[in-house]
Amino acid sequence: MSRIIHAGDTPAKRRRQLERSCAEALRTLGAKPALASGVWDLEAKDLAAFLAINLRDIGETIEGSAQAWDDRNYWKKAEKLRADWRWAPQTAEAMETALLAADWEGATDALVSLIPRFAHVNVGKKLRDADWWVGAFRALEKRAARA
């Protein structure tokens, strides 16, 4: 019997795409000199909300990948994967809380904590335009109002 290769959308492939999106958003935020002085414009809020949403999505892909390892009885590998990525949904929660409370210092601290997490992602040039993150802050507010 031959080996089955899944060339479609896998949790690992989706996670790599989300990591790249996060790295590009962090780089775009890092290029905003006003953030250093604590001034958050609408684009910065959208980018930070976009990061929080992507971090939540990364957390979901981790569980999908870990479940695949659990199904093959590689429970140690599954638990290591969960432990290595536990920070993603926790940081997303901290960032969402700070953004919704207009705690810009807390949001900045959350952003700074993300820099080493995405340092390994090589972003040669900007591939995404503002259409990716415009309205993310408003979507975050709407989701919080429903909850």
- Domain spans, the chain: 43-146
Residue-level pLDDT at 20: 93
- Per residue in 67-82, pLDDT tens? 989 999 999 999 999 9
Residues 6+ apart with CB under 8 A from 91: 55, 110, 113, 114, 117
Average pLDDT (100-116) is: 93
- Per residue in 8-46, pLDDT tens? 788 889 999 999 999 999 999 988 888 877 789 999 999
- Per residue in 74-103, pLDDT tens? 999 999 999 999 999 999 999 999 999 999
Residue, of 131 and 90, whose pLDDT is higher: 90
Average pLDDT (123-136) is: 80
pTM: 0.87
